[in-house]
């Protein structure tokens, strides 16, 4: 139970709805309505000004809808919980709302007991998280080899290869190293639940894996995360391993995996997810919830065919095109086909064409279990991956500025 009132922001473009909810909540001493907004963009500004514990968010509004606003709120204001309200009790809406980070989904008009109960549950979570963060900041050293001390507002990056052999895992590992700095804590998650090999690239072995966190996803804290994560000293990257056995793969539930990634973003500035090229529910969930997806392909005809199929699906599902970065790997400038020609054919801008590693330094780094970006930063591919990391950071800044 909260030891103070739960501060609530109402977001709805229909005044009658706002007034009805106010009447329902006005006599509850635990709940305080601190303000209201008429659309998603207005809600973002009001959350910034008022820092509410809970936002009651209508799903259908002009300018910016409730689901988009919820996603931005959960990314930028990590303690604020969102409860979605909708006249349409559509399972698809509910699924989208939860993946955007909503705490709960209620049909309009809500019953008073149900509404107050949901607000109090969400509010208590917000208040407890704030208390945990304050306690963490006051501690001289929280148990964490990766230096996890306080909550941040992190971003998730999904690295997806349209075909096996596109170098996805190698790029994901080196991208994580490139993003890591004294100001940025980075976690690399092995999202290939059948054949995950991320720890191998760092010469690490772990007795723990993602299932150890998924089984406790509702009760996670920094200490639990620290126990399960592998820490790579040379790069400073924390690594979450995939299940060790094939028969354990189906235990990685996509919804729980998405929830876990959202939790990790509270403690890491960047969560990089390496995925399988097979588009199962887990991979789609990682792509849908990612802040940016790096789509990897080579210039082989079969790979480009798969890239086209993926782009068709990505657009059909209504995913944000600004969150997709198309990267070619193993590109040999002596080839007869150019990135511009591929881009024109697929109707998709190509962010970068990573060069072919003619000296085979990447292969040797994999054999030694030392990421290229740790020991050979002068390598041409390494320099390009650092440039890709910079472009990703610039893309995030641009996204934040346009909100």
pLDDT of 392 reads 96
CA of 292: how far to CAs of 29, 123, 157, 246, 392, in Å? 42, 29, 5, 28, 8
Q: Is the pLDDT of residue 138 over 70?
A: no
Q: Would you place residue 335 in the very low, low, confident or very high pLDDT band (cuts 50, 70, 90)?
A: confident
Alpha-carbon gap, residue 388 to 393, rounded angstroms: 9
Q: Which range is least confidently modeled, 123-132, 161-170, 205-214, 229-238? A: 123-132
pLDDT of 218 reads 73
DSSP string, 350-400: EEEEEEP-TT-HHHHHHHHT--HHHH-TTSHHHHHHHHHHHHHHHHHHHHH
3-state secondary structure of 126: helix
pLDDT of 298 reads 95
pLDDT of 161 reads 97
Q: Is the pLDDT of residue 141 over 70?
A: no
Helix (H) / strand (E) containing 212: helix 210-214
DSSP string, 10-65: EE-S-HHHHHHHHHHHTT-TTEEEEEEESSHHHHHHHHHHH--SEEEEES--SSS-
Q: Is the pLDDT of residue 144 over 60?
A: no
Parallel/antiparallel/unpaired status of strands 54-58 and 6-11: parallel
- Rounded to an integer, the average pLDDT of 358-372 is 76
User: What percentage of the chain has pLDDT greater than the value 90?
Assistant: 53
Mean of all residue pLDDT scores within the chain = 87
Q: Is the pLDDT of residue 356 over 90?
A: no
Alpha-carbon gap, residue 133 to 51, rounded angstroms: 15
- Rounded to an integer, the average pLDDT of 99-115 is 87
Q: Which range is least confidently modeled, 1-5, 40-44, 126-130, 178-182? A: 1-5
Question: Do 6-138 and 155-402 fold alike per CATH?
Answer: yes
- Rounded to an integer, the average pLDDT of 5-18 is 93
Q: Would you place residue 345 in the very low, low, confident or very high pLDDT band (cuts 50, 70, 90)?
A: very high
pLDDT of 226 reads 86
Helix (H) / strand (E) containing 186: strand 186-191
Q: Dihedral (C-alpha) 194, 94, 396, 242: value to the nearest 10 degrees?
A: -20
Q: Which range is least confidently modeled, 59-73, 101-115, 128-142, 347-361? A: 128-142
- Rounded to an integer, the average pLDDT of 377-382 is 79
Alpha-carbon gap, residue 181 to 147, rounded angstroms: 12
Parallel/antiparallel/unpaired status of strands 238-240 and 155-161: unpaired
6-138: CATH topology is Rossmann fold (3.40.50)
Partner residues linked to 191 by β-bridges: 275
pLDDT of 146 reads 43
**Angle CA(58)–CA(255)–CA(202) in degrees, nearest 5?**
130
- Which residue bears the tokens 């191998």? 200
Q: Is the pLDDT of residue 150 over 60?
A: no
Q: Considering only the top CATH level, what class is 155-402?
A: alpha beta
Q: Is the pLDDT of residue 113 over 80?
A: yes
Q: Is the pLDDT of residue 13 over 80?
A: yes
Q: Would you place residue 75 in the very low, low, confident or very high pLDDT band (cuts 50, 70, 90)?
A: confident
Alpha-carbon gap, residue 337 to 321, rounded angstroms: 24
The first and second tokens of residue 346, run together, are 């697929």
Could you state, in order of their start, the residue ranges of all structural domains in the chain? Answer: 6-138, 155-402
- Rounded to an integer, the average pLDDT of 367-377 is 74
Q: Is the pLDDT of residue 364 over 90?
A: no
Alpha-carbon gap, residue 23 to 249, rounded angstroms: 49
Q: Would you place residue 139 in the very low, low, confident or very high pLDDT band (cuts 50, 70, 90)?
A: very low
């Amino acid at each position: 139970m909260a030891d103070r009132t739960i501060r609530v922001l109402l977001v709805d473009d229909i005044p009658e709805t706002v007034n009805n909810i106010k009447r329902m909540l006005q006599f509850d001493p635990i709940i305080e309505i601190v303000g209201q907004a008429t659309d998603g963009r207005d809600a973002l500004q009001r959350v910034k000004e008022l820092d509410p514990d809970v936002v009651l968010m209508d799903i259908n509004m002009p300018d910016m809808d409730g689901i988009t606003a919820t996603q931005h709120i959960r990314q930028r204001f990590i303690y604020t919980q969102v409860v979605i309200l909708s006249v349409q009790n559509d399972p698809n809406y509910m699924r989208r709302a939860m993946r955007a980070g909503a705490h709960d989904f209620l049909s309009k008009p809500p019953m008073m007991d149900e509404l107050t109960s949901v607000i109090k549950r969400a509010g208590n979570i917000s208040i407890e998280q704030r208390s945990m963060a304050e306690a963490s900041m006051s501690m001289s050293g929280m148990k964490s080899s990766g230096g996890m001390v306080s909550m941040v507002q992190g971003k998730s990056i999904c690295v997806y290869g349209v075909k096996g052999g596109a170098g996805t895992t190698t790029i994901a590992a080196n991208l994580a190293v490139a993003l890591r700095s004294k100001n940025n804590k980075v976690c690399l998650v092995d999202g290939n639940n059948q054949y995950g090999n991320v720890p191998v690239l760092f010469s690490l072995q772990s007795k723990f894996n993602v299932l150890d966190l998924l089984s406790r996803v509702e009760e996670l804290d920094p200490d639990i995360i620290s126990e399960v994560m592998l820490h790579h000293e040379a790069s400073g990257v924390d690594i979450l391993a995939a299940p060790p056995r094939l028969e354990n793969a189906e235990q990685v539930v996509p919804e729980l995996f998405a929830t876990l990634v959202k939790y990790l973003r509270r403690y890491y500035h960047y969560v990089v997810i390496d995925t399988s090229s097979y588009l199962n529910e887990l991979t789609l969930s990682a792509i849908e919830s990612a802040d940016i997806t790096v789509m990897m392909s080579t210039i082989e005809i079969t790979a480009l065919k798969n890239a086209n199929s993926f782009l068709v699906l990505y657009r059909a599902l209504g995913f944000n095109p600004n969150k997709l970065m198309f990267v070619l790997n193993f590109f040999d400038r002596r080839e007869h086909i150019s990135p511009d020609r591929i881009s024109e054919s697929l109707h998709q801008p190509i962010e970068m064409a990573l060069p072919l590693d003619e000296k085979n330094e990447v292969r040797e780094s994999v054999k030694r279990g030392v990421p290229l970006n740790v020991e050979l930063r002068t390598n041409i591919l390494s320099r390009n991956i650092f440039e890709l990391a910079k472009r990703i950071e610039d893309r995030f800044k641009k996204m934040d500025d346009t909100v």
